[in-house]
Structure 1
């Protein structure tokens, strides 16, 4: 078995990139910073980029050094290590403490394992235009979620504090080890996949907002590489006639990793 990787990441225009990607021996991950709400500290003195980077470092270390551990165990360990990095400076019991959504894929000789928390995505190309798509969209199905109309449409912070990292709500990585057990996880036989795509929602909005199919996404990547997907997202965003109809930012950080799996 041989695995090759292509990847690209870029910040939203006039912004700092709060996404993070990493690849290793048979694995890849993408993280997307879950930032602060205006006027909220989240009990933490660190920038979102610090939290995301620390989490990415610990996940990478665990994936490399503990290849036989379940992905949920690896994620729990990485979250605990990230929490320890804060020391006594931060109140991580604050439900709005900054963190990240994430997607992890690990390819073994006999199977492909994945774990997704939040609005990152894993898309597995099984050939013949068959795709297994894993997106944790619980944040889009919260009961009676109040929408705040501002520069962007979003949920009220007071409401988010009642459902973030709570059963029946949604989960992010960073300050709650229990998020590992609430992730979406799964496995496919290794021979069932030819390519695996991981991305932040800055890329998956091609399908969620702009009507692309994953077949079209994969075909563009195949012909023009990962940067072409970021260019396509920006073109869609700039030509959007009514960006206020969406919940969330008009532009977002965009990150994609594609793993190509070939035979021994």
Structure 2
């Protein structure tokens, strides 16, 4: 594959996304917001995603290794790096994980939480994503939509929602993300797609995919056209232009005016 990558913070805080690529591998991580709540960890989310990303790429250096096995190993290795932190805290640093690996005739994928992988074919796009998080605490999610983004009322509503979400995180009745143990890897969506007919693949954090899925100002075909014409940076710029027309989140209610945004655009010869 020929892979181009880009990532940009959504505001003034450090970027909590992470991306890396090789000719056969693309990885995107999206660190979960803490909403100012205690995590039990002195390192923080940017540290966590950078450590997990590096260990994950190393764990998948062996061709053909199951992606879930590599993720489980990386999770355990990162947990061992900070034994002095309270890894049992429900808010321990965590992240979504999306992995794409290419071999001679197929793509393997792993998706854990809501950072999608999108396969582009002529006249068709196949989206692989994990939206289990959207099914928990819907009443608190709806409450956040009542207030303008950036107001104290909105921040407090988001804090209440995140606090409640944490209690369902990595439980059988909730949703799964990469956190402090390898168990989450067993709950990821995994599969394979034939390379035949695939024009390109985009691995995205939800800070980018929302241009299609939430804002509805572009189709997936439009997004791939932008990627080919303006590159990964250009697609992120389009997201920012769209968000600038609705800074208070009234048209498109959201948790932040702008979220961290990351793209790995994979093209085939």
Counterpart position of 1:7: 5
- How much has 1:151 moved relative to structure 2? 3.2
Spell out the pairing of 1:204-215 with structure 2 (5 A cutoff): 204-211=209-216, 212-215=218-221
Q: Which structure has more strand as a fraction of its residues?
A: 1
Give the 3-state SS of the residue equivalent to 1:163 in structure 2: coil
Aligned with residue 126 of structure 2, among 115, 132, 154: 132
- How much has 1:241 moved relative to structure 2? 6.8
Give the 3-state SS of the residue equivalent to 1:45 in structure 2: coil
Please list the CA deviations of residues 23-43 of structure 1 after superposition, one character each: whole Å capped at 9, or x if unmatched: 1240110011113232x2221
Please list the CA deviations of residues 128-172 of structure 1 after superposition, one character each: whole Å capped at 9, or x if unmatched: 221110121111122555245433553524422321011121111
Counterpart position of 1:121: 116
- How much has 1:21 moved relative to structure 2? 0.4
Aligned with residue 40 of structure 2, among 35, 43, 62: 43
Structure 2 vs 1, CA of residues 125 and 61 (structure 1 numbering), >3 Å: closer, same or farther?
A: same
Counterpart position of 1:21: 19
Ranges in structure 1 where 5+ consecutive residues have no aligned partner: none
Provide the rounded CA distance (Å) in 1 between the counterparts of 2:115 and 2:198.
19
Spell out the pairing of 1:95-244 with structure 2 (5 A cutoff): 95-126=90-121, 128-142=122-136, 144-147=138-141, 149=144, 150-152=153-155, 154=158, 156-211=161-216, 212-240=218-246, 243-244=249-250
Give the 3-state SS of the residue equivalent to 1:243 in structure 2: coil
Counterpart position of 1:61: 58
CA contact (8 A) 2:94 2:178 kept: yes
Structure 2 vs 1, CA of residues 92 and 249 (structure 1 numbering), >3 Å: closer, same or farther?
A: same
TM-score for the superposition, normalised by structure 1: 0.91
CA contact (8 A) 1:165 1:176 kept: no
Give the 3-state SS of the residue equivalent to 1:73 in structure 2: helix
Please list the CA deviations of residues 98-129 of structure 1 after superposition, one character each: whole Å capped at 9, or x if unmatched: 11112100001121011111121100112x22
- How much has 1:192 moved relative to structure 2? 3.3
TM-score for the superposition, normalised by structure 2: 0.90
CA contact (8 A) 2:2 2:23 kept: no
Provide the rounded CA distance (Å) in 2 between the counterparts of 1:241 and 1:80.
40
Give the 3-state SS of the residue equivalent to 1:6 in structure 2: strand
RMSD: 1.7
Provide the rounded CA distance (Å) in 1 between the counterparts of 2:164 and 2:212.
28
Please list the CA deviations of residues 162-200 of structure 1 after superposition, one character each: whole Å capped at 9, or x if unmatched: 210111211111213111111111111122322110011
**How many pairs align?**
256
